[in-house]
A and B are shown apart, each in its own frame.
Chain A
Amino acid sequence: MESWVVGYDGDGDVERHSGAVEEASRDKRQLRIREVSDYI
């Protein structure tokens, strides 16, 4: 669910957009790759 948080968290002004955070993490998708190889 997309949401905006705008306010003050005790340390300073905050503005968060949860949808934007999700998109940002999706930009770099995690993957494990194992290469099985020999050098010759």
Chain B
Amino acid sequence: MEEFEVEFDAWAYDLRPGIPPEGIPREQASAGRSYPPGYVDNLLQTARDSGIDMKRPALILNTRKAHEATEFAKDCGELLPFHRAVFSAYWEREENIGDIDILCRVGEECGIDAGGLREALVDGRYASRVDEQIAWARAAGITGVPTFIFDERFALVGAQEYEVFRDVATRVIRSGEQEASRQEG
């Protein structure tokens, strides 16, 4: 969003609680669910149109360590590149982002100290922070991801067109300005 000065943050969500460390086959995870005809093809095409070579990884993984690594990246000032790189590792290269070795390599590629990251992940240094984020999302009633929270006042759910983001951002900023001027007056 180049026309806005965005302070970006990423918080963890546990989309599929209880996934074992080795992951589970996608078919098993999707048992009993079905998408409308053409939904997946459309999704993959939309990704391609955006320059993302999206696959459908065979395994659904436990993302706990990936979220902890994200917190480490945040503290290193490398949140955005690392966040993107983890999505890319899983969805474009089908890598096991539940694996500490993979996360350290991805981190290193983003300029993060791999040794420090490994130590933090083995120690579980960021576990409580991730727990708090997941608990917050549950308490806030968030049931779909991604959910984008604008200035703690508005939630936008799902991957939306840029124009939708711009519209919401503009409205949130305008309503903040109106509120500020009411308080001043």
Contacts and interface: CB of A to CB of B under 8 A. Distances in A.
A12 B148 CA distance: 47
Given A30-B4, A31-B150, A32-B7, A37 B13 contact: yes
A32 B61 contact: no
Interface in B121-152: 133, 137, 142, 145-152
Contact of B8 (A27, A35, A36, A37): A35
Q: Which of A32, A33, A37, A40 has the most CB of B within 10 A?
A: A40
A37 B148 CA distance: 9
Q: How large is the interface on B (under 10, 10 to 19, 20 to 34, 35 or more residues)?
A: 35 or more
Given A36-B145, A36-B146, A31 B11 contact: no
A2 B170 CA distance: 24
A36 B173 contact: no
B169 A40 contact: no
Contacts, number: 94
Given A29-B4, A33-B6, A34-B9, A40 B149 contact: no
Interface residues of A, number: 14
22 contacts: A29-B4, A29-B169, A29-B173, A30-B6, A30-B7, A31-B6, A31-B7, A31-B150, A31-B169, A31-B172, A31-B173, A34-B10, A34-B148, A34-B152, A35-B11, A35-B147, A36-B145, A38-B14, A38-B15, A38-B145, A39-B66, A39-B87
Given A32-B6, A33-B150, A37-B145, 19 more contacts: A28-B4, A28-B5, A31-B169, A32-B7, A33-B6, A33-B149, A33-B169, A34-B9, A34-B152, A36-B133, A37-B11, A38-B63, A38-B145, A39-B63, A39-B66, A39-B86, A39-B87, A39-B97, A40-B61
